[in-house]
Amino acid sequence: MGRWAVHKGERRRRCFSRGPGRPRLRPLALVGVAIVALFAVAGPAGASASPSPSPPAEASPGANAAVDAAGDPAAEIFAENCSGCHGSRGEGGFGPTLAAAGFASLVAPMVEEGGITMPSFGDQLSDAQIQGVAEYVAAHIADPAARTAVVADGGETYRLYCAGCHSTTGRGGALTRGRNAPDLSQYPAAEALAAMILGRGNMPAFAGNTLDVRQQAAVGLYVGVLVDPPSPGGHGLGYLGPVTEGAVSAIALLILVFLAVWLAWKSRTAKP
Amino acid sequence: MSDRRLMRSLRTAFGVRRSPLRRGASWLDENLGGGSKLLRDELRHIFPDSWAFFLGEIALYCFILLVVTGIFLGLFFHASQAEVVYQGSYQPLVGVPMSDAYSSVLDLSLDVRAGLLVRQVHHWAALVFVGALMIHLLRMLFTGAYRRPRRINWVVGLSLLFLVGFNGLMGYSLPDDLLSGTGLRIAYSITESIPFLGPTMASLMFGGQFPTSGIIARIYPVHIFLLPAGIAGLLGLHLGMLWLQRHTEFPGPGRDDRTVVGTPMVPAYALRTTGYFMLVAGVLTAFGALLQINPVWLYGPYTAWDSTTSAQPDWYMGWLEGAVRLFPGWDLQIGSFLLPAVFWPAVVLPGLIFTPLFLWPWLDGMALGDHGFHNVLTLPSERPGRAAIGAGFVTFLSVLLVAGGNDVFATVFGLDLLLFQRTLQVLVIVLPPIVALFTYLVCRRRSQRWLATGR
Amino acid sequence: MEVADGEAVSEPETATHGAPPVPGGGSPPPARGSGRPPGWPAAIGLLATVVGSVGFVVAFVTNASNAWLGGSLAVALLGLGMALAYWGRDLAGDEVISGPYPVPHDDAPGAAALGGDLEQSAGVITRRGALARFLVFGVAVFALSQAVILGALGPWPGRSLFVTDWRPGRRLVTIDGEPVTRDVLAGGGSLVAFPEGHTDAANSQIALFHFFGGELKPQPGRETWSPEGFVAYSRICTHVGCAVAQYMDEVQMLACPCHQSTFDLLDGARPVSGPAGRPLPQLPLAIDSDGYLVAQSDFTEPVGPGFWDAG
């Protein structure tokens, strides 16, 4: 299947259908109009976005190679579906900036399932489209620094800033006064990125000067590990730690007591 | 020619071979110098029958399993906090600086064949070990097995519980992961809270101000040698006294304080107990195979600036954790000195719990005016007062255990953490007397009915 | 007496007190036509043992998962256990014997004689009053003197609990060593910071906050400690020393994940709930001429949990 194959729900682009050499004027004009229209809509929203200060370290999304407007379907999907909230170059708006979205593995599940405020696109877009736009965002929209993030660094940052509320295993925790830090495994990892960047409720924002783009992306990668952690030892028992392990050990003890009852059953009425 | 020589020559002449067991018996007799009668008697050692008498065996077999699996683990563990950079197979930690101890546990769990199985069986066995000891203790308590002549054995057994619990704490702290390292910090602070000597004791125990770079290396010989040797020694005493005094028995036909009735050791009992050993090992291996425990790779290495919610010690320390969580911050200023609040729940309370427990046989004797020899057990309901105190004690520890996991319960059941804490603070005072009173009334009614109707 | 599958139960033997009875355990061969073969549960158990053991070897050699490796071993152990337990329970007979408990020793004359002998032997020492007391004294002094060995285990705490690595003018840095400027936390949140050059100093860790709306309540004697609304508290919980990491942005509280001690950041980090008794120590801050946050001095009280001399 090439880039030119038709996917469900997508308008046919007959760019080369009438043979090579034809000028590709009409599609280009259409895309240009779309971009202008998007700016008209997204511009005011972008101006009132939550003040995330740009520290010197964070390169603007525009430092990427210019958004490929030359008919890349992923770019078009992005322009149609994503830029409305995230800005035409992923600089943020109603939704958070995409500067830290340096990995397709972070973006794709979020697009597929949606998040707390982000709608899901799993029904509108095919798996290949989703993968395509995810790779596009990672390669062209995200900050180049974010793409160098390493999951192990994310783990260290996670344990310093996040584990206190969300626990080392990401299963969340109760906070005082009726609040709680949610279970991170219930959402795609990128939801954690969004919460980090924007702050949410009692969770402070960690973007900007606390964590730069590379650190944010690294934490996102680590949260991705926690969403489905490796369990070589067997069933994870909810990853809640020694409390559940203790309760389960009581079951082992109960089984052994039951076996003892069985073993001593016949002698319980024994007479000398 | 002696009889023996005559028989031997006759047998050789006729080509008759005795069975290996017979030959072995005569070999033993010739070499041990007349122990045959003793051995013959002891082969018929009588074991009274009840499922309740297997509880100590669960603990014994868990101990053997722990030693066997522990030997394997000891061949791989590096008891050093020297900083290394992890380069093993677990990607999310590659390149992270950590202690050699933690790295060796990661390697053992993830890169050594059967390493994870042995580690998990070891940890499950430790949890079940203490649980078995506790219900074994409760069985003793509720049936009066601690009375003369077993008062010393009661003290030995309680000391075993103490040593085993402490050894477990040492054991799960060895991997130097975030969860257990936090526990060590708490242990340090609790030691510090002791008046006058506290900071000095803490510094001597740990080798300096927390965090020290030698605490894991110091815990290691305690966990693999000192405490297991102590446990083995006390266990020998415990089983030796049990052997000499014979096991207690429940009341029944033909049974009284002078007559023990039960199964001879050989063949039936030996088979049953060996089989039970295999069953204990099998159940624990099944748990180690199918249920993940203590996944230290998810917790990360210990650093003093990381912390995690849902942080608890292993369950048998949960009552202490709960006491520390529930006791309010009532620091005491005494002149220019400070008595931190944590001293009361973490140092004084265990003393208040263990001291009467150690003295229980004598307290019970004094309360009932009964210091006589008893080999037959009393059923729990026959001593309503004792049952009530025991039930109240268990309730108290259970509420503390729940309090130790208060944040996990609040997370799982969606409770308001503060409200839950306040409720538990009230329950820990109010619930034990209520349960004790209820138990007393139930037991007294049962024993009165038994006296009246014989049933 | 209950009858096991296809087997007659042997009559239990009674024994007279004291004499070891003849062993009579074991079951006679089963009656013909009893259906299943005798001891079939044991046979199944032993079959499981063999299958499990072979499976264990195969799983080990092929580096199979923990579930297969442990599962096969568990099957082998449980099978063997069931076989032996069943054998002991159902195939070894229901022999029940009785015997004597050891008689309680009530030998007053014997104990008196022992006491007398002991007194006489000890008389060699106890006769010589002053010398005996000197012996006791010497042994006691010797025994107690050995306790000094404990001093080798670690340093005396001295002033170490009262001092951290903060010094006047020392810059705040992140855990990666980056100096902290005044535009950090412009978007809110909090930062974990250390003294410059001491990013491994566990007792010096602080949590930095920025309250620029005047919400910070001035603490008596500490009015100059929070320049431009920046405030820093020690991150070591004053309860039992965990890192206080739960920052709740809406209520401006910092809580400890270990035992849920909660500190009010706007009011000198005093504890408002939970088992902590003392506020988190505050680090006096200043902003130097280059715009970096620095400490004015070390903490003015010991950080972390309380102890006897801290009062």
pLDDT in tens, C188-225: 889 999 999 999 999 999 999 999 878 899 899 999 99
Q: What is the mean pLDDT of residues B234-240?
A: 97
User: What is the rounded distance in angstroms from the CA atom of residue C42 to the CA atom of residue B278?
Assistant: 14
What topology is assigned to B50-312+322-356 in CATH? Cytochrome Bc1 Complex; Chain C (1.20.810)
In the stretch 138-157 of chain A, residues with CB closer than 8 A to chain B read 150-156
What are C246's strand-pairing partners?
C255
User: What is the rounded distance in angstroms from the CA atom of residue B126 to the CA atom of residue B119?
Assistant: 11
Assign B353 a pLDDT band (cuts: 50, 70, 90): very high
Please write the tens of the pLDDT for every residue from A80-128: 889 899 998 888 888 899 999 999 999 999 999 998 889 999 898 999 9
Higher pLDDT, A15 or C141: C141
- Any C CB within 8 A of A236 CB: no
Query: What amino acid is encoded at B39 in this protein?
Result: L
Residue C171 per-residue DSSP state: B
Residues 6+ apart with CB under 8 A from B50: A264, A268, B249, B250
Contacts of B405 in chain A (CB under 8 A): 243
Backbone angles phi, psi at C253, to 5 degrees: -120, 150
Q: How many residues does chain A have?
A: 272
Computed on alpha carbons and rounded to an integer, the radius of gyration of chain A in Å comes to 25
Please write the tens of the pLDDT for every residue from C226-284: 999 999 999 999 999 999 999 999 899 999 999 999 999 999 999 999 999 999 999 99
Contacts of C154 in chain B (CB under 8 A): 203-208, 212
pLDDT of residue C6: 35
Residues 6+ apart with CB under 8 A from B393: B432
Q: How far is CA C162 from the centre of its chain?
A: 27
Mean pLDDT of chain B: 93
Q: Of B297, B138, C264, C102, nearest to A233 (Cα)? A: B297
pLDDT of residue C311: 65
Is the confidence at residue C16, as pLDDT, over 80? no
Q: What is the mean pLDDT of residues C161-179?
A: 94
Classify residue C144 as exposed, middle or buried by CB count within 10 Å of its CB (0-12, 13-18, 19+).
Answer: exposed
Residue with tokens 């510090």: B192
pLDDT of residue B6: 81
Q: Where are the domains of chain B?
A: 1-43, 50-312+322-356, 379-455
Higher pLDDT, C249 or B220: B220
Residue B362 per-residue DSSP state: H
Please write the tens of the pLDDT for every residue from B296-342: 999 999 999 999 999 999 999 999 999 999 999 999 999 999 999 99
Q: Which residue of A has its CA nearest to B177?
A: A168
Is the confidence at residue A190, as pLDDT, over 90? yes
pLDDT of residue A266: 78
pLDDT of residue C227: 92
- Any B CB within 8 A of A165 CB: yes
Q: What is the mean pLDDT of residues C150-158?
A: 92
- Per the CB < 8 A criterion, the answer to whether B133 and A249 are in contact is no
pLDDT of residue A23: 46
Please write the tens of the pLDDT for every residue from A16-46: 444 444 444 455 555 555 555 544 444 444 3
Assign A268 a pLDDT band (cuts: 50, 70, 90): low
* Kind plus residue range of the DSSP H or E element containing A75: helix A73-77
Residue B291 per-residue DSSP state: B
**A226, B109: Cβ pair inside 8 Å?**
no
Question: The tokens of B254 are what?
Answer: 């033909």
What domains does chain C contain, in order, with CATH numbers? 1-28+37-97 (no CATH), 153-311 (2.102.10.10)
Separation in Å, CA of C135 to nearest CA in chain B:
30
pLDDT of residue B74: 97
Nearest to A272 among C96, C190, C257 (CB): C96
Is the confidence at residue C137, as pLDDT, over 70? yes
Assign A3 a pLDDT band (cuts: 50, 70, 90): very low
Question: The tokens of C233 are what?
Answer: 């508290």
Mean pLDDT of chain A: 79
Is the confidence at residue B182, as pLDDT, over 70? yes
What are C208's strand-pairing partners?
C191, C232
Q: Which residue of A has its CA nearest to B255?
A: A272
Q: Of B125, B145, B144, nearest to B58 (Cα)? A: B125
Please write the tens of the pLDDT for every residue from C88-117: 998 888 888 889 998 877 778 888 999 999
Nearest to B131 among A226, A253, A272 (CB): A253
Separation in Å, CA of B435 to nearest CA in chain C:
27
pLDDT of residue C214: 82
**C250, A201: Cβ pair inside 8 Å?**
yes
Is the confidence at residue B103, as pLDDT, over 80? yes
Q: What is the ipTM of this complex?
A: 0.92
pLDDT of residue C126: 87
CB atoms inside a 10 Å sphere around CB C299: 22
- Per the CB < 8 A criterion, the answer to whether A100 and A59 are in contact is no
Q: Which residue of A has its CA nearest to C91?
A: A266
Assign C25 a pLDDT band (cuts: 50, 70, 90): very low
Q: What is the mean pLDDT of residues B42-53?
A: 91
Q: Where are the domains of chain A?
A: 25-227
pLDDT of residue A176: 81
CATH class of A25-227: mainly alpha
- Any A CB within 8 A of B378 CB: no
**B303, A159: Cβ pair inside 8 Å?**
yes
**C161, B149: Cβ pair inside 8 Å?**
no
Burial C7-38 (b: 16+ CB within 10 A, else e): bebbebeebeeeebeebebebeebeeeeeeeb
Q: How many residues does chain B have?
A: 455
- Would the pTM of this model clear 0.90, i.e. be above it? no
User: In C26-128, which ranges are continuous DSSP H helix?
Assistant: 40-61, 66-86, 108-126
Handedness of CA C226, C229, C230, C235 (dihedral sign): positive
Assign A137 a pLDDT band (cuts: 50, 70, 90): very high
pLDDT of residue C20: 41
Mean pLDDT of chain C: 87
User: What is the rounded distance in angstroms from the CA atom of residue A152 to the CA atom of residue B92?
Assistant: 5
pLDDT of residue A63: 45
Assign A177 a pLDDT band (cuts: 50, 70, 90): confident
Is the confidence at residue C287, as pLDDT, over 80? yes
Residues 6+ apart with CB under 8 A from B185: B210, B211, B304, C240, C241, C242
Is the confidence at residue A66, as pLDDT, over 50? no
Contacts of C99 in chain A (CB under 8 A): none
Q: What is the mean pLDDT of residues B410-435?
A: 94
Contacts of C73 in chain A (CB under 8 A): none
